[in-house]
């Protein structure tokens, strides 16, 4: 077996790669990038999907099902965090002493193969901002490589392999994953209390973002967020601030509500350069768009070209994703799984003028639900009616006994259900008049959204 000191050396000295769970949203773009770099890729997954079709169209061999035989001939095996340690392919890789790498390690190595890596970090808004930046670069013929947490409609994928030195990389702070990356330009959107089961304290969380930003030469930072200010204290590179306050380098001014989102002027160093009308709702998306604008402007793209690309952005997958209009009912699906995100999303929905908002929410992780119970109740109370699914524990064990009924107890118009079918029926019953039904959560609540759509058809 070859032995290496660094993850970079593993890929530098390998040619044949097998990817376990290749169809996953985080794995698929990495497979595409590695393929474009000349690696011979094979993969396996349990379920057929659009991602697998995309991968196969590149000429990558993919098998359904996991078997020890699948790793034969591989020089390195890559797996996602969703793959269990007893997976037969990982077990066989260990038996054959084939080097094994987790997805985030590989992503870190790839960021060191590009000279203009844009790492987008923050508690909220990473996927939307990464998507907007990618769309600007793509539409302006910068041919970027991208790894995004949601589907970007203009490329109909979670990422792409480009031929330029630009790489857009959504950079998640969970278990310090983003510290494996090597950003040249870092974006810091905001800092809020999340993943505290891992970080324990806000000071630790801020310190982690500080480390991430410190790895870059240029930082594009939310100048209105006091916690971001703490994270960039002492930063020695070039710092560009964005926000609504007058001291920011990139500022949104004269905000107005438009048909699908906010309209605002963009000023750079105090001088108005353009006006942007968003097609995605909410004040939080003004910040996301402004951060993307700052990045594109820094790289020399003309304001009107940036404006054109931003105004054509209608959202990424599961980020206020409109699934259809059914008579007087509009159906939307959203990834919001933290109280701040739920609050922002519901306020944005309210701004669109619907007479009734029905929120279908699936809490994600027991620790977050327990720690932020009152915040969840306050956020969900912004809806007229709430339908709650059982908590999706993901990687956790429920050590406190927290349940969705504990949230329901603090809400006026709320029902708890057990299945997606029940959630769909309850949501439709609650919707009357000109209503918006929005499914929210970080798990698989989107399945309820599609059932609702089928029933409303």
Tell me which of 42, 123, 126, 365 is the catalytic residue. Answer: 126
Tell me which of 42, 127, 340, 345 is the catalytic residue. Answer: 127
Classify 45 as helix, strand or coil: strand
Q: Are 182 and 106 in contact (CB under 8 A)?
A: no
CA atoms within 13 A on the CB side of 241: 19
Alpha carbons 243 and 246: distance in angstroms, whole number: 8
Q: Which two three-digit tokens encode residue 362?
A: 């699936």
Residue 127 among the catalytic residues? yes
Alpha carbons 162 and 138: distance in angstroms, whole number: 9
Residue 152 CA: distances (Å) to CA of 130, 131, 176, 282, 313: 9, 6, 25, 19, 9
Residue 177 among the catalytic residues? no
Chain position carrying tokens 């193969």: 113
Alpha carbons 189 and 31: distance in angstroms, whole number: 28
Chain-centre distance of CA 203, in angstroms?
Answer: 23
- Quickly list DSSP for 247-316: T-SEEEEEEEE-SSSEEEEEEETTEEEEEEE-SS-SHHHHHHHHHHHHHHHHTT--HHHHHHHHHT----
Residue 96 CA: distances (Å) to CA of 43, 73, 99, 106, 220: 18, 10, 9, 21, 45
Alpha carbons 133 and 145: distance in angstroms, whole number: 11
Tell me which of 32, 92, 105, 170 is the catalytic residue. Answer: 170
Cα torsion through 272, 277, 281, 286, rounded to 10 = -20
Chain-centre distance of CA 379, in angstroms?
Answer: 20
Q: In what order do the strands lie in the sheet with 76-79?
A: 61-64, 40-45, 16-20, 76-79, 100-102
Residue 126 among the catalytic residues? yes
In the 8-state DSSP scheme, what is residue 232? T
The Cα diameter of the chain in Å comes to: 67
- Quickly list DSSP for 393-428: -TT---SS---HHHHHTT-SSEEE-SSHHHHHHHHH
Q: Which two three-digit tokens encode residue 7?
A: 């993850």
Query: For 37-73, where are the alpha helices, taking DSSP H only?
Result: 50-57
Active-site positions read 126-127, 170
């Amino acid at each position: 077996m070859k032995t290496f000191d660094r993850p970079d050396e593993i890929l530098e000295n390998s040619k044949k790669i097998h990817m376990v769970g290749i169809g996953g949203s985080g794995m698929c773009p990495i497979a595409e990038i590695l393929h474009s770099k000349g690696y011979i890729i094979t993969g396996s997954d349990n379920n057929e999907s659009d991602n697998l079709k995309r991968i196969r169209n590149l000429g990558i061999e993919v098998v359904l099902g996991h078997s020890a035989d699948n790793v034969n001939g591989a020089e390195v095996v890559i797996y996602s965090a969703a793959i269990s340690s007893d997976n037969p392919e990982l077990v066989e890789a260990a038996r054959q002493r084939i080097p094994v790498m987790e997805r985030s390690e590989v992503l870190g190595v790839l960021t060191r193969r590009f000279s203009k890596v844009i790492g987008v970090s923050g508690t909220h808004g990473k996927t939307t901002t990464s998507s907007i930046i990618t769309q600007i670069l793509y539409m302006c013929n910068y041919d970027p490589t991208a790894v995004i947490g949601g589907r970007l409609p203009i490329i109909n994928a979670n990422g792409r392999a480009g031929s330029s030195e630009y790489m857009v990389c959504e950079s998640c702070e969970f278990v310090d994953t983003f510290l494996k990356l090597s950003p040249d330009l870092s974006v810091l959107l905001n800092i809020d209390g999340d993943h505290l089961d891992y970080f324990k304290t806000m000071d630790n969380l801020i310190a982690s973002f500080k480390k991430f930003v410190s790895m870059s030469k240029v930082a594009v930072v939310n100048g209105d967020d006091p916690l971001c200010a703490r994270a960039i204290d002492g930063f020695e590179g070039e710092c560009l601030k964005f926000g609504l306050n007058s001291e920011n380098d990139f500022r949104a001014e004269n905000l107005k509500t438009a048909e699908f989102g906010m309209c605002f002027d963009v000023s750079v160093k105090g001088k108005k350069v353009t006006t942007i009308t968003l097609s995605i709702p909410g004040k939080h998306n003004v910040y996301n768009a402004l951060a993307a604008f700052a990045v594109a402007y820094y790289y020399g793209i003309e304001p009107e070209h940036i404006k054109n690309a931003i105004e054509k952005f209608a959202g990424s997958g599961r980020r206020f994703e409109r699934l259809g209009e059914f008579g007087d009912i509009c159906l939307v699906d959203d990834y919001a799984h933290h109280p701040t995100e739920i609050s922002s999303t519901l306020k944005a929905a309210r701004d669109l003028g619907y007479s009734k908002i029905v929120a279908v929410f699936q809490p994600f992780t027991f620790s977050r639900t327990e720690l932020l119970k009152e915040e969840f109740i306050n956020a969900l109370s912004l809806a007229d009616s709430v339908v709650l699914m059982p908590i999706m524990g993901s990687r956790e064990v429920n050590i406190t006994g927290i349940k969705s009924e504990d949230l329901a107890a603090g809400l006026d118009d709320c029902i708890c259900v057990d299945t997606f079918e029940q959630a769909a029926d309850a949501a439709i019953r609650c919707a009357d008049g000109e209503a918006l039904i929005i499914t929210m959560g970080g798990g698989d609540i989107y399945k309820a959204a599609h059932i609702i759509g089928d029933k409303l058809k």
